[in-house]
Structure 1
Amino acid sequence: MDLFFAYMFVASATPLFLWLEHRKIALLSVPFIFVMWALAISFLFEGFMFHISESTFIAGFLINVLIAHVAAFILYASPYYQAKSKKLSETSE
């Protein structure tokens, strides 16, 4: 469970990293982060807000993991691949 919470903090910071360059993606990830935290709190307090199953919590968590990985790809790998493809197109001309 500690790993879930550690990654939840990382996933919660994702919109901050995306805000300057990709605001639409940052804003789209905010509702999923709220749902992730609501499910986690509900799971910890055994359905205090609403009754959920463990699979619902894990599914919500995995959706946020996917969003965070897409954001990391957009921020870090995408510029590298764009520069590489630009360099290849310049050398082929």
Structure 2
Amino acid sequence: MGIFFFYMFVASATPLFLWLEYHKLAVASIPGIFAMWILGAIYIISPSWWLEAWFIFTFSVNVVLAHYAAIVLYGMPYIKQKRLERQPKRLI
């Protein structure tokens, strides 16, 4: 359960990273983060299989969104830079 809490904190920080460039995506991810934390807290208090299933689902969606945000924010500028470097130089 400890790894879940670590990733829950990472997924919760995702809107902070997205806020300047991707404001709409950051706002859209906030309800999922609240649902993930609420379901996680309820599951800790009284574990049941259906709460665990919904918690894992919201957790997975938020982790995928966090990884997508990391790729968009940090990977895409690097990929674009490498593509520009590989293009042949024009003489004109």
Higher relative CO (CA 8 A, sep ≥ 6), structure 1 or 2?
A: 2
| C-alpha deviation, 1:52, in angstroms | 3.8
Which amino acid is the alignment partner of residue 18 of structure 1?
L
Instruction: Calculate the aligned-residue CA RMSD, in Å.
Output: 1.8
Which TM-score applies when normalising by structure 2?
A: 0.85
Contact 1:43–1:52 (CA under 8 A) maintained in structure 2: no
Which TM-score applies when normalising by structure 1?
A: 0.84
Equivalent position of 1:23 in the other structure: 23
Equivalent position of 2:12 in the other structure: 12
Aligned sequence identity (%): 47
Gap runs ≥5 in structure 2: none
Q: Which runs of 4+ in 1 moved over 6 A?
A: none
Question: Residue 20 of structure 1: SS of its match in structure 2?
Answer: coil
Map of 1:59-78 to 2, 5 A cutoff? 59-78=57-76
Equivalent position of 1:43 in the other structure: 43
Which string of whole-angstrom CA distances, capped at 9 and with x for unpartnered residues, describes residues 9-28 of structure 1? Answer: 11101110111111111111
Gap runs ≥5 in structure 1: none
Which amino acid is the alignment partner of residue 34 of structure 1?
F
Question: In 1, Cα distance between the equivalents of 2:89 and 2:28?
Answer: 38
Contact 1:11–1:65 (CA under 8 A) maintained in structure 2: yes
- Asked whether 1:55 is paired with 2:53, we answer yes
